[in-house]
Amino acid sequence: MEPLNIKPLAGRILISVPFLQDFYFKKSVVLLADHSEEGSFGLIINKPVDVKLSDIAAEFAGFDAPVFLGGPVKTDSLFFIHTRPDLIEDGSEIMDGLYWGGNIESVRELVKSGGIRPDEVRFFVGYSGWSAKQLDKELEEKSWVVSLTNRNQVIAPDTRDLWSQMLKKLGKEFKLWVNYPPDPIMN
């Protein structure tokens, strides 16, 4: 299947093209949690920040889950995805076995009681959002490649190299992008 023909939908990923130099989206992989006529919502899944959840949210003391930079919107807020709909109600299914959001009070109680592990929930500072038709325009401009993913890739213990890994899987044309210089003018 030609990767450029995959349509954006919840559960798919956006892989930024190498010449996209935006601070947030440079070499980013964004998991789409929602895509509709009204707009799109996603989370950057390959940019962990250098703090643990317990460092930025006192109510999660002792819970050393990593925190990721989710995007440029509402960077003063925490968002989360998880694999435990049996424990966290009101989440929205993104793909088989992976949910975003839900009852944050349930998450707090699960953390306190030890009922959830850091590998079952992932936290993000901010999110990536697009207004109606904005993402479609960016796709027409070829700023992103839409691709398929699975729950294991999204919540892998280390997703820092996910951008290059996903490009390599897309084939020869995209594999070349992995070595694209950080600043082509200086090359």
What pLDDT is attached to residue 99?
Answer: 98
Let me know if residue 42 belongs to a domain. Answer: yes
Let me know if residue 167 belongs to a domain. Answer: no
* CA-closest candidate to residue 11, choices 96, 89, 88: 96
What pLDDT is attached to residue 2?
Answer: 44
Let me know if residue 113 belongs to a domain. Answer: no
Let me know if residue 181 belongs to a domain. Answer: no
Let me know if residue 26 belongs to a domain. Answer: yes
Tell me the C-alpha distance between 98 and 10, whole Å: 11
Q: pLDDT tens digits for the chain (187 residues)?
A: 344 579 999 999 999 999 888 999 999 999 999 999 999 999 999 999 999 998 999 999 889 889 999 999 999 999 999 999 999 999 999 999 999 999 999 999 999 999 999 999 999 999 999 999 999 999 999 999 999 999 999 999 899 999 999 999 988 888 788 887 665 555 5
Let me know if residue 186 belongs to a domain. Answer: no
State which residues form the domain around 12.
Answer: 3-78+123-161
State the burial class of residue 90 (Cβ atoms within 10 Å of its Cβ: 0-12, 13-18, 19+).
exposed
Let me know if residue 114 belongs to a domain. Answer: no
What pLDDT is attached to residue 184?
Answer: 55
Which sign does the torsion angle of CA 161, 162, 167, 168 carry? positive
Tell me the C-alpha distance between 68 and 76, whole Å: 13
CATH of the domain at 64: 3.40.1740.10
Let me know if residue 149 belongs to a domain. Answer: yes
Domain count, the chain: 1
